Amino acid sequence: MRAAYVEGGTVHTGTLPDPVPDAGQALVRTHRCGLCASDSHFLHAGQNVIDLSRAHGGPYAALDFARPFVPGHEFVGELLDYGPGTTRRVKPGRRVTSVPIMRAKGSHAVIGFSHDCPGGCGELMLLDAAMMIEVPDALDDERAAMIEPLAVGLEHARRGRPSRDDAALVIGCGAIGLGVIAGLRLLGIAPIIAADFDAGRRALALAMGADVACDPREASPYAPVGGRQVSLIYENVGRPGMLSEIIAAAPFDARIVMGGYCMEADRLFVFAAQNKRLTVHFAGGEEPQDMDLALRAIADGRIDVASWLGETVGVGGVSAAIAAMGAPGAPVRTVVDPRLA
């Protein structure tokens, strides 16, 4: 199959062996795949992520950074066939997506960060047949590829156990932060305050349902809105020092959800957090319930992800698209169609 693949921290384009489904697995032809910031991060710090997984436990421990692997964990594709003895729950020819985890045969691999489970930047993928979700005909490929990134934000939103009594602050308005805002809006939480340095991302935050969007260099995002004090804070940045900054600014009895992945050691002043009786939740990846909600919410129009979508590129455009991710005005998602050159 043709694919864009990572080898030694560099993106290449070429031909790799077609994957063959084993028991419990399904073979899928990729239609679209979103490029995530984690794909970019892995190019620059992949060995560190692997080393952290080996030292502390994590799904990337089996990855050899010097060997090729096909990235892409935000995907939709056509189901082609099943491995031997696998329950054929979805009819071949239907489009599917999935939590990007392979658990068949007792393994635990992240699709797109595995030598055995190529991601959506290649023409063919292997999915865990038990975890596939069928995509309805009315949902086009581009929006279907946004189900997984939206689901991450929805998981983070519920991880904070929000209630109608909360005023929520969302720090960082990339895909995860935007998904958090959308999830909070679905739950009827208001007000929602969004904070981001980028004006374009602040505009997207308002479009996703934030009541206020501010540049934290110009105004404190912790200021009361309509007489309501922030009580629930979502961190979606993932850089050292963010938790300490939030603890210093958070009001008494606030809850903090850590959604950004910080790959460096961090420090916090426990004394301040204890004095304020703060609670910190650590959010992880999405679960099947979040994927199901994301699919239904996009399909029925409750959440509009059209504003996230940038251009669609072929496998030959993956390297340039990943390099451009951090540029001002970059789209929330560039989408790959592996059937294109």
The rounded distance, in Å, linking the Cα atoms of 126 and 119 is 8
The rounded distance, in Å, linking the Cα atoms of 279 and 302 is 30
Q: Which residues make up the CATH 3.40.50.720 domain(s) of the chain? A: 151-282
1 contacts 56 by C-beta, under 8 angstroms: no
| Interval 143-195: pLDDT, tens | 999 999 999 999 999 999 999 999 999 999 999 999 999 999 999 999 999 99
Cα dihedral across residues 316, 111, 39, 16: positive or negative: negative
Helix (H) or strand (E) holding 333: strand 333-336
* Closest of 219, 278, 215 to residue 250, by C-alpha: 278
The rounded distance, in Å, linking the Cα atoms of 6 and 12 is 6
Q: Tokens in use for 65?
A: 């950074």
User: N- to C-terminal Cα distance for the chain?
Assistant: 12
Q: Who's near 160: CB < 8 A, 6+ residues apart?
A: 168, 232, 234, 255, 257, 281
Query: Can you give the three-state secondary structure of 43-104, one letter per residue?
Result: HHHHHHHHHHHHHHCCCCCCCCCCCCECCCCEEEEEEEEECCCCCCCCCCCCEEEECCEECH
Give me the pLDDT at residue 268, please: 85
190 contacts 254 by C-beta, under 8 angstroms: no
Sort residue 243 into left (φ over 0), alpha (ψ -120 to 50) or beta. Answer: alpha
Q: Tokens in use for 44?
A: 């620059």
Give me the pLDDT at residue 59, please: 84
Q: Which residues make up the CATH 3.90.180.10 domain(s) of the chain? A: 2-146+305-336
Q: What letter would DSSP give residue 226?
A: T
Mean pLDDT by 10 residues, the chain (341 residues): 95 97 96 94 87 87 93 98 95 98 84 96 97 97 98 97 97 97 97 97 97 96 94 95 95 96 83 94 93 98 97 97 90 96 80
Fold of 151-282: Rossmann fold (3.40.50)
Q: What φ, ψ does residue 114 adopt, rounded to 5°? A: -150, 145
Which CATH code, of 3.40.50.2300, 3.40.50.300, 3.40.630.30, 3.90.180.10, is assigned to 2-146+305-336?
Answer: 3.90.180.10
Q: What letter would DSSP give residue 117?
A: S
